[in-house]
Homo-oligomer: A and B are copies of this chain.
Amino acid sequence: MSAMAIEEPSQQASPDGDAPAALVWNRPARAPRRRALTVHRIVEASVALADAEGLDALSMRRVAAEVPTGTTSLYRQVASRGELLELMTDAVLGEVPPAPLTGDWRTDLHALATGQRAALLRHDWLGAVMSTRPALGPNSLRRIDRTLAAATALTRGDITLAGEAVSIIGDYVAGHAAREVAERETLRRTGTTEEQWRASLGPYLHRVIASGEYPAFTRRVVEAAERSFDELFAAGLETVLDGLAARYGN
């Protein structure tokens, strides 16, 4: 995201010793000196790759090819693929820092939840990683901290109750995003568009409906109005916030 200007650690940087600079730049053909292999560069390439092709495509060899570097050179910067996933998680959680709190718990929790959802949708692998290993990096902690602070305004200072509230919101957001991402993932995996997928489901759905064993489901499929994920999330989040207000709040 932030274009970090990487300084070349060349001889010019040395404070004294007027070396013949012109000659330095005329070095063999060795390229302008390969940038050092850093965790940052590895994580950046990994996030781009996972965004574009999914977690399955994120093999160490593919990452190395994208950086580019040798496969096993990665292991000098990163202990394992798992650790790389953790670094990626924290990196993307830091892309958009949480806005400063307004003091109104409902506004603040709404904004934080929406931001979390945005991150989960922007990187569809994020949910899968976070539901496997706990996110403990600084960016993750910052988000948790701000959310707790916002919830404390709701629970009138009770930190235990604030923790409960944060868990409840977090669980809902994670669950909702997971379902939305699952649908995308299915389309990608089967390589179909939404219409094609729906069409391929058609015959089976008809049999299900014809069986008469699922009357409510049938009504749902036949009668119910279509709801977008955005609408559903908006409704769900309001519902949860209403519940929290009733339970803890004023």
Chain A residues within CB distance 8 Å of chain B: 127-128, 130-134, 136, 138, 141-142, 144-146, 148-149, 152, 159-160, 162-164, 167-168, 170-176, 178-179, 181-183, 185-186, 189, 201, 204, 208, 213-217, 219-220, 223-225, 227, 232, 235-236, 238-244, 246-247
Contacts and interface: CB of A to CB of B under 8 A. Distances in A.
A236 to B, nearest CB: 4
Contact of A216 (B148, B170, B186, B236): B148
Contact of A225 (B128, B160, B224): B160
A181 to B, nearest CB: 7
B216 A133 contact: no
Please give the count of copies of this chain that the complex contains.
Answer: 2
A220 B163 contact: yes
Contacts of A130: 182
Contacts of A216: 145-146, 148-149, 152, 159, 162
B132 A214 contact: no
Given A159-B220, A163-B224, A240-B240, 8 more contacts: A127-B131, A131-B178, A144-B214, A145-B216, A148-B220, A149-B215, A162-B224, A170-B179
A53 to B, nearest CB: 16
Contacts of A146: 216
B174 A178 contact: yes
A246 B163 CA distance: 23
B182 A175 contact: no
A232 B167 contact: yes
A232 B204 CA distance: 38
